[in-house]
Amino acid sequence: MANSIGWIGLGRMGEAMVRHLTQAGHGVSVWNRTRSKAEPLEGSGATIAGSKQELAGCEIVFTMVSTTDDLKQVLFGEGGLVAGSRQPKVVVDSSSISQEGSAEIRRQLEAMGVGYLCAPVSGNAKVAKAGKLLIVASGPRMLYEKAEPYLQAMARKVMWVGEGELARVWKIAHNTMFGVVIQNLCEITVLAEKAGIPRHVFLESINDSVLGSMYTKYKTPTLTNLSFEQVTFTPKLLLKDMDLGLAAARAYGVAMPAAAATRESVARMVGHGHDDIDFAVLLLETAKDAGLELKSENVKMSDGLES
């Protein structure tokens, strides 16, 4: 294809990341299982591919899907990116998948002469839209340097952490902390509110303390106003990542009691039927356990992510 970059997967993150690439002047050809999700990108200069194999002529193809099986399917399945007579030079994957699954995919791609770089990200769709993602990559250093200009166009910072699947370990550790922090943030917020501190006041104080972070700040409006329909990450996806974290802990012989307790809390939340809703709905579950009925405070608060 005329464009040197291909992109597969336009979920909550992918569309925003592609827009940054086109805004930086890069030609991008995109494919998504649901074509209608790709169509808005035409106005930004992207080209819609009719099939995954059409992207095989691109020099680099980025993938961002939900699971290891999804990635295997878009690469090797019927009509997959590398299942035809042509293959791209490099695949850069930003999905959250297991270290073992990633290593298997690397072996298959490299046996076909296709380079493979892991490049998971830190941030949700709003962070991606603001251009404030952190991208952490692993794989051959030469491939990282080749992909770095494109990664830079989508992020506030990019890092190379080493060879092989080390970026997968980083992402697993990152998202395990993601779960533990939201669990604790919900617990202490319920504690403070039940004692009599208004929720928005307590969260503002945490954000302005040594414990505040980008994470606590961007979750504050959701927790204050109970706006869980504005989905950044679902309970099911968080449960998947907590399971990946605990599997890695077993493999490396690392005890993670806080993560184990959090995993069970998230599993219960999923069992209660919370599906296409933000994972911060954990606040309601925690409050219910404490005999506290929460109401939206309808307070306008900044999440610190305005671009």
* Same-domain check for residues 258 and 173: yes
* CATH number of the domain residue 284 falls in: 1.10.1040.10
| pLDDT of res. 12 | 82
Q: Are residues 157 and 238 in the same domain?
A: no
Is 305's pLDDT higher than 70? no
- Of 148, 164, 180, at which residue does a domain stop? 164
Would you say residue 111 has pLDDT above 90?
A: yes
Q: Is the pLDDT confidence value at 191 over 90?
A: yes
Whether 302 maps to a domain, the answer reads: no
Q: Which of 6, 56, 15, 10 is nearest to 32 (CA)?
A: 10
Q: What would the mean pLDDT of 153-167 be, rounded to a whole number?
A: 97
Domain check: are 17 and 145 in the same one?
yes
98, 57: one domain: yes
3-state secondary structure the chain: CCCCEEEECCCCCHHHHHHHHHHCCCCEEEECCCHHHHHHHHHHCCEECCCHHHHHHCCEEEECCCCHHHHHHHHHCCCCCCCCCCCCCEEEECCCCCHHHHHHHHHHHHHCCCEEEECCEECCHHHHHCCCEEEEEECCHHHHHHHHHHHHHHEEEEEEEECCCHHHHHHHHHHHHHHHHHHHHHHHHHHHHHHCCCHHHHHHHHHCCCCCCHHHHHHHHHHHHCCCCCCCCCHHHHHHHHHHHHHHHHHHCCCCHHHHHHHHHHHHHHHCCCCCCCHHHHHHHHHHHCCCCCCCCCCCCCCCCCC
Q: What is the mean pLDDT of residues 145-166?
A: 97
The answer to whether position 43 is within a domain reads yes
Q: In terms of domains, do 51 and 160 share one?
A: yes
Q: Are residues 157 and 14 in the same domain?
A: yes
Q: Residue 48 is part of a domain; what is its CATH number?
A: 3.40.50.720
Q: Does residue 245 share a domain with residue 217?
A: yes
**8 A C-beta contact, residue 282 and residue 266:** yes
pLDDT score recorded for residue 65: 93
In a domain, 81, yes or no: yes
Domain-embedded: residue 307: no
Q: Report d(CA 52, CA 261) in Å as an integer.
A: 41
Contact status, residue 154 vs residue 14, Cβ threshold 8 Å? no
Give pLDDT tens digits for 228-280: 998 888 999 999 999 999 999 999 999 999 999 999 999 999 999 998 899 99
On whether both 159 and 10 belong to a single domain, the answer is: yes
Domain extent for 17: 5-164
Residue-level pLDDT at 226:
97
160/117 Cα distance (integer angstroms): 10
pLDDT tens-digit profile of 203-225? 999 999 999 998 999 899 999 99
Q: 294 in a domain, yes or no?
A: no
Please report where in the chains the tokens 């290891």 appear, as a residue: 68
At residue 1, the pLDDT reads: 47
14 has pLDDT over 50: yes
pLDDT number for residue 302: 72
Number of independent structural domains in the chain: 2
145 & 17 share domain:
yes
304 within domain boundaries? no
Residue 114 lies in a domain: yes
- Average pLDDT score, the chain: 94
Judgement on whether residues 206 and 157 belong to the same structural domain of the protein: no
Instruction: Note the pLDDT of residue 11.
Output: 85
Give me the mean pLDDT over the 14-38 stretch: 94
What's the whole-number mean pLDDT along residues 21-46?
93
Domain shared by 176 and 119, yes or no: no
Q: What are phi and psi of 28, to 5 degrees?
A: -130, 130
> Residue 196 pLDDT > 80, yes or no?
yes
Does 2 or 43 have the greater pLDDT score? 43
pLDDT number for residue 304? 64
Whether this model's pTM surpasses 0.85: yes
User: If pLDDT is split at 50, 70 and 90, which confidence band does 8 have?
Assistant: very high
Give residue 307's pLDDT: 38
pLDDT digits (tens, 9 = 90+) for 43-70: 999 999 999 999 999 999 999 998 999 9
Same domain, 51 and 186: no
